[in-house]
Amino acid sequence: MRIHHLSCGTFCPRLRRFLYGSGGVLARAEMPCHCLLVETDAHGLVLVDTGLGIQEMRNPVERIGAARYVMAPVLDESLTAIRQVEALGFRREDVRHIVLTHLDFDHAGGLGDFPEAKVHLLAAEKNAAMAPATRLEKNRYKEFQWDHDPLWRPYEPTGEPWRGFAAVRELEDLPPEILMFPLPGHTRGHAGVAIQDGDEWLVHAGDSYFYRGEMEQPLRTTRGIDIYQRMVAVDWNQRLENLERLRALRHGHDDVQVFCAHDLDELRALQSLAP
Ligand SMILES: [Zn+2]
């Protein structure tokens, strides 16, 4: 198994001081969309989250909407998962599986670029996106990102206990080293993805947290990060409970690397460790 850490989209909002407490009033932050591309021995390529896709790059007005004014995405097709897969010498159809932390537009944008892939996710997340119940849910999900009718493979939140998490499970047609576990709070059916790589575990925590300081001991955050997360979380208490579980996982085990989707330093550190 070989694992690539990719950023499939970059946001450069003028929010650096607000989010990270440094830089001028109009300084830009740089937020990646951290995805994994896993080369498996017998199951083809597996993509964990898909970032922004070709259509977001070509039609930002329609596909990203007003959020583009705040989030300032870099509109460059070479950042998309499909173009990075091709640059590595693979074909679109080599990506046979996509595992999603959740269906926000910056995680599901590339779904349409791999129309034949099986899409693994928690059933609660699919339900939230298909039948959004609140204004927050109605605004966050973009149904045109799955109008190609993907081969969904939804899962109930059941499984085996694992390192503080109640229900970790294997995924259909995927190797046993790739596991999913419920990590709700940011969205209804948000999931974490754990991958065993030799003696180490890599844990993609999606948007369960946004800033590396939230994993540090003691916890370090900023007012801006806190305000932003409160705006986008469907269940704040659930988010905090799962953040504590992730922190216990990170600090209780030397063989675990936990990372979130949008922290640039975490992405760079993991890319620098890659063979
Ligand atoms: Zn996100």
**How do residues 206-245 score in pLDDT, each as one tens digit?**
999 999 999 999 999 999 999 999 999 999 999 999 999 9
* Distance (Å) from CA 46 to ligand 1 centroid: 19
- Alpha-carbon distance of 175 to 234, in angstroms, equals 32
Note whether 6 and 46 are within 8 A (CB). Answer: no
* Distance (Å) from CA 12 to ligand 1 centroid: 13
pLDDT digits (tens, 9 = 90+) for 158-217: 999 999 999 999 999 999 999 999 999 999 999 999 999 999 999 999 999 999 999 999
pLDDT digits (tens, 9 = 90+) for 35-69: 999 999 999 999 999 999 999 999 999 999 999 99
| pLDDT for residue 6 | 98
pLDDT digits (tens, 9 = 90+) for 80-111: 999 999 999 999 999 999 999 999 999 999 99
| pLDDT for residue 22 | 86
Residue 275 has pLDDT above 90, yes or no: no
* Distance (Å) from CA 2 to ligand 1 centroid: 24
* Distance (Å) from CA 88 to ligand 1 centroid: 24
Sheet holding 200-204, edge to edge: 160-162, 165-170, 178-182, 191-197, 200-204, 256-259
Residues forming a β-bridge with 48: 36, 99
Name the residue type at position 197: D
* Distance (Å) from CA 196 to ligand 1 centroid: 23
- The model's pTM is 0.97
- Alpha-carbon distance of 246 to 236, in angstroms, equals 15
Q: How many domains is the chain built from?
A: 1
* Distance (Å) from CA 108 to ligand 1 centroid: 9
* Distance (Å) from CA 35 to ligand 1 centroid: 11
* Distance (Å) from CA 232 to ligand 1 centroid: 10
Domain CATH for 117 = 3.60.15.10
pLDDT digits (tens, 9 = 90+) for 15-30: 898 898 888 888 999 9
Closest CA to 155 of 173, 136, 132, 139: 173
Note whether 187 and 136 are within 8 A (CB). Answer: no
Note whether 192 and 130 are within 8 A (CB). Answer: no
* Distance (Å) from CA 111 to ligand 1 centroid: 15
Which residues, including other chains, have CB under 8 Å from residue 199's CB and lie 6 or more apart?
A: 255
* Distance (Å) from CA 14 to ligand 1 centroid: 17
* Distance (Å) from CA 94 to ligand 1 centroid: 25
Give me the domain span that covers residue 166.
Answer: 2-273
- Alpha-carbon distance of 101 to 17, in angstroms, equals 28
